[in-house]
């Protein structure tokens, strides 16, 4: 990939309560593909995601109201690695039922983790920042990250997707007491 993640600027991640997290983000118009605007946003999202130790970061989390997010899959356990990338104007086709429970956290909801029900797979259609169309399927952790990030583009946070609040924990308590721990999605 052409982007060197540390080229960008570190941006402040807004937290729950900031109105940007509850707004529906606007699609990027075709004439903005390949422009300085998207290249800067791409670099800023990647840099901020890495420096704040996330595996994903959506534009609304830095108070930019456009349908763009960055993510990667570290490739631990039996998950295939996905290199850091930025998706623009993604649309999802959800596969299966939203029955897969997994731990999630969010850089905009710092300190908390909870069990969230997600679809086991997604079909993704999107563009890269230059406007090149992308189409692929994702499952498991990869599908979970994408569902979490696409929710941010619609003003939804992981708390809204929890089937109940009983699993909500602070990170320190999660480290001590959570059972069935797997790598949490921290996005
Ligand atoms: Zn998040």
User: How confident is the model at residue 183, as a pLDDT?
Assistant: 57
Q: How far is the CA of 149 from the centre of ligand 1 (A)?
A: 6
Position 102 pLDDT exceeds 70: yes
> Who has greater pLDDT, 75 or 180?
75
Distance in angstroms (rounded) separating the CA atoms of residues 15 and 4: 26
Architecture of domain 5-186: Alpha-Beta Complex (3.90)
The Cα 10–Cα 79 span in angstroms is: 28
CA of 66 to the centre of ligand 1 (A): 15
Q: Residue 179's pLDDT is what?
A: 73
* Residues 128 and 108 sit within 8 Å (Cβ to Cβ): no
Average pLDDT over residues 91-101: 94
Please report, for the chain, the start and end positions of each structural domain, with discontinuous segments joined by +: 5-186
Is residue 124 a contact partner of residue 146, using CB atoms and an 8 Å limit? yes
CA angle 24, 74, 184 (to 5 degrees): 65
106 alpha carbon – ligand 1 mean position (Å): 4
**pLDDT, position 162:** 96
Residues around the ion ligand 1 (C-beta < 5 A):
106, 187
pLDDT band at 78 (very low <50, low <70, confident <90, very high): confident
pLDDT band with cut points at 50, 70 and 90 for residue 2 = very low
Q: How far is the CA of 31 from the centre of ligand 1 (A)?
A: 28
pLDDT tens profile 18-49? 999 999 999 999 999 999 999 999 999 999 99
- Whose CA is closest to 22, among 160, 180, 130? 160
Q: What's the pTM?
A: 0.93
- Assess contact for 141 and 73: CB atoms under 8 A: yes
3-state secondary structure of 128: coil
CA of 147 to the centre of ligand 1 (A): 10
**149 counts as catalytic:** yes
Instruction: Read off the pLDDT band of 4 (50, 70, 90).
Output: low
Give me the mean pLDDT over the 168-187 stretch. Answer: 79
- pLDDT at 5 > cutoff 60: no
**Structure confidence by residue, pLDDT tens digits, 110-166:** 999 999 999 999 999 999 999 999 999 999 999 999 999 999 999 999 999 999 999
Instruction: Kindly state the tokens that stand for 13.
Output: 């991640």
Rounded to the nearest whole angstrom, what is the distance from the C-alpha of residue 22 to the centroid of ligand 1?
A: 12
Name the burial class of residue 106, with classes exposed (0-12), middle (13-18) and buried (19+) by CB atoms within 10 angstroms of its CB: buried
How far, in Å, from the CA of 19 to the mean position of ligand 1? 14
> One of 42, 104, 149, 186 is an active-site residue; which one?
149
User: pLDDT grade, residue 178 (50/70/90)?
Assistant: confident
């Amino acid at each position: 990939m052409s982007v060197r993640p540390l080229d960008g600027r570190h941006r402040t991640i807004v937290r729950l309560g900031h109105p940007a997290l509850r707004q529906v983000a606007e699609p990027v118009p075709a004439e903005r593909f390949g422009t300085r605007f998207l290249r800067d946003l791409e670099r800023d999202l990647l840099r901020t995601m890495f420096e704040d130790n996330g595996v994903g970061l959506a534009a609304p989390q830095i108070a930019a109201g456009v349908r763009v997010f960055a993510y990667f899959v570290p490739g631990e356990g039996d998950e295939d690695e996905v290199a850091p990338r930025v998706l623009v104007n993604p649309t999802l086709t959800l596969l299966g039922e939203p029955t897969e429970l997994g731990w999630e956290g969010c850089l905009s909801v710092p300190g908390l983790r909870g069990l969230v029900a997600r679809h086991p797979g997604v079909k993704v259609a999107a563009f890269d920042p230059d406007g090149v169309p992308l189409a692929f399927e994702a499952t498991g952790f990869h599908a979970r990250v994408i569902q979490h990030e696409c929710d941010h583009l619609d003003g939804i946070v992981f708390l809204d997707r929890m089937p109940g609040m009983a699993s909500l924990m602070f990170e320190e308590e999660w480290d001590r007491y959570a059972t069935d721990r797997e790598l949490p999605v921290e996005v």
